[in-house]
Amino acid sequence: MSANPFLEPSFEIRWSQLRPELIEPAIAAALARAQSAIDAIAARDLAALTYDHTFLALERATEELNVAWGKVAHLQSVADSPPVREAHNRMLPPVSAFYAKIPLNAELWRRLKTFAGSPAAAELRGIHRRFLEETVADFRQAGADLSPEQRARLEALQSELAQLTQKYAENVLDATNAWQLIVEDEASLRGVPAHARAAARQNAGRKGYGSSEKPAWRFTLQAPSQEAVMTYAEDENLRRWMWSAIVAVGSLEPYANAGLIQRILARRAEKAALLGRPHFADLVLERRMAKNGARALSFIEDLQLRAQAAFARECRELEEFKAQQTVGPAGPLKAWEVGYWAERFRQARYAFDEEALRPYFPMERVIAGMFELAHRVFGLRIAERPTSCRSLLADDSTRAAEGSRASTLLQDGQRGDPVEVWYPEVKFYDMHDARGRHVGSFYADWHPREAKRGGAWMNYLITGGPQPDGTRAPHLGVICGNLTPPVDGRPALLTHREAETIFHEFGHLLHHLLGEVEIKSLNGVNVAWDFVELPSQIMENWCWERESLDLFARHHETGAPIPAELFAKMKAAKNFRAACAIMRQVQLAKMDLLLHLRTGEFLEGDIEARARAVVADAMIPTEPPARTIVKRFTHVFADPVGYASGYYSYKWAEVLDADAFTRFRREGLFNPQVGAEFVEHILSRGNSAEPMELYRRFMGREPDLNALLTRCGLRTSPD
Ligand SMILES: [Zn+2]
């Protein structure tokens, strides 16, 4: 093995030695070794193939590269710097090209296919059978079986799709940025919150509008700016201008997307046909839990049907509320009134300030409570290890300031030698299961820094699990976020949503760390897209139950639990206009699926009119009618695949987590037996079987979407 630390397989990663200038040589060496391992498989004697030197050899071929590239990508996420970014961006094209070329390697495919059809392959069982089937499906889906001419056409389609979707995304971005609203009369900003006004004034100043004597406010179509106006501005003209601009994004030259949509849909349909599928939705979904477009569509239509009555009632209630407030006749709202009146209605019904919950979510307590929950439910013991930061990645001034904190981490009965981390406040934990096995370890990096990307995520650095010799190696993962930091010696006080985020990422982490899958590429979160959020989202449920909240949500000064009245408001506010929220997602998911199932209907004529016709019954009735987002639907059109045919997954995953959680609600929130079954059938299994099969083993049946409707208050639970 090389002395390059990026290529060291060690569990204890020496972050301070992962210097940017070592990235390129490490990745280049790993790429070369991976390529020669693949060449060796492709050169095997066709008459003497074994499972070990075909499929398993392919799995091993990329392992070193996977781990090394994982470290590079991780560094770029948590300790970005110009040299790290430069090295990452320089190596990204060869790395992507390497992975993309594997299924198109004809000699390699011939060996895999030959072995897959042999009597020895028919003998494979369990995880090895699954691995063989999944690999063959990966190759077929990527076009391995096509003739050279067809493959050339597929490659041409891919590159055309990349360009068309790139252009669509640019049009949305450019049209969004091309519009502004300059307000010079402060009176017309009545209702707009102070922080949004301040941001608009600062924005105006930066663009050269207004002065200290004659101030101006600049609003844009970026989400925080437009939402502040559409939700709060009392001035109807302001909202009407803003609405007209929002719905024009992607509609007007030079940023018009209608033609691009039709070309993207046509290319996707051709790609599906080339690969022998009736339409693009089936191509995308055949290996997801939904299996095909028709099933995903019937799921969404079923949800629509069941939410329909509550949706109609919520629309009517809002119309009545407005009529009563304005002393006018009830009738459909104008398209630019919905957000505004919904917010007034919410305030009238629930005077609930989310900030009031913060004192009950001190971060340390939330995390300690979550570990206690993991102990009660899953039998896990999680212990913090002392850390040290020698990293060159944290800049000098921060290290000097944080140095004292780093050294004080070595205290309080923590075991073992310090573990090196990339930044002083990063924590490290060992996780043991009920049998006392060290199942894995993880880093936690929770607060924002300039050199760290936004959002929250889980990632894995090492995949352990069962080894061919019968032992088991621990897994190594990382959970990150950008949560409220501690200020002036006060503990970090989180919002309820932030507490949920910690639980969510911890769920993804458990999926990796508890994995008992011998084939690494099938471990943990390497599962179908519409299944991967089950372990994470189910954890969020414990943030909404009185009994579990009392474990970790305690006032940071008094230790008191959340008062009953505040808890009731928090629950009620969550379900306010729940059917409208569901119907919004139904509308988008249905439009996405129909565009890719009945593509022919959308290739001519006015795309907006045709898209609207198929989802109008899922839209809030307004005057003038609201528009669909088809011309600015970046989830679906900004990437060759992205969320195309997959938007339904948001709701699908919610159904899974709400439904699976009913077992804990019924049999006990801390029931260790249910917890053990969840580990046994879901968390430890990765992609070792069909997700629906895993789900059935845990629930004893297929998912039932009533659980979601019950959870958001649209249905009374029978139990
Ligand atoms: Zn997630």
SS (H, E, C) 504-565: HHHHHHHHHHCCCCCCHHHCCCCCCCCCCCHHHHHHHHHHCCHHHHHHHCECCCCCCECCHH
**Identified catalytic residue from 505, 533, 608, 654:** 505
pLDDT of residue 333: 97
Q: By the 8 A CB rule, do 88 and 76 touch?
A: yes
Instruction: Give the Cα separation of 300 and 298 in Å (integer).
Output: 5
E strands in 386-421: 387-388, 419-420
- Measured in Å, how far apart are the chain's first and last C-alpha atoms? 60
Question: In the block, which residue shows the tokens 């019904």?
Answer: 349
- Starting at the edge strand found earlier in the chain, the sheet holding 457-462 runs 381-385, 427-432, 438-445, 475-480, 457-462
Instruction: Give the Cα separation of 480 and 457 in Å (integer).
Output: 5
pLDDT in tens, 391-429: 554 444 444 334 334 333 443 444 568 999 999 999 999
* 3-class secondary structure, 465: strand
Phi/psi at 381 (nearest 5 deg)? Answer: -120, 125
> How close is the Cα of 74 to the center of ligand 1, in Å?
17
> How close is the Cα of 579 to the center of ligand 1, in Å?
23
> How close is the Cα of 561 to the center of ligand 1, in Å?
28
In terms of Cα–Cα distance, which of 5, 17, 660 is closest to 393? Answer: 17
> How close is the Cα of 537 to the center of ligand 1, in Å?
7
pLDDT of residue 353: 80
In terms of Cα–Cα distance, which of 78, 87, 22, 17 is closest to 478? Answer: 78
pLDDT of residue 407: 38
E strands in 132-262: 181-183, 217-219
> How close is the Cα of 501 to the center of ligand 1, in Å?
9
Q: What is the pTM of this model?
A: 0.91
Intervals of the chain under pLDDT 70: 1-2, 391-416, 717-719
Q: By the 8 A CB rule, do 465 and 441 touch?
A: no
Please write down the long-range contacts of 708-712, taking CB distance under 8 Å and 24 or more positions apart: 708/303, 708/651, 708/654, 708/655, 708/658, 708/659, 709/306, 709/307, 710/658, 711/658, 712/574, 712/575, 712/578, 712/581, 712/582
> How close is the Cα of 459 to the center of ligand 1, in Å?
11
Instruction: Give the Cα separation of 205 and 194 in Å (integer).
Output: 16
DSSP assignment, residue 573? H
For residue 53, what are its two tokens? 């030197």
Q: Give CA 448 to chain center in angstroms.
A: 19
Question: In the block, which residue shows the tokens 């074994």?
Answer: 50
pLDDT in tens, 546-566: 999 999 999 999 999 999 999
Phi/psi at 301 (nearest 5 deg)? Answer: -70, -35
- Active-site annotation holds for 505: yes
pLDDT of residue 391: 59
> How close is the Cα of 272 to the center of ligand 1, in Å?
29
pLDDT of residue 518: 96
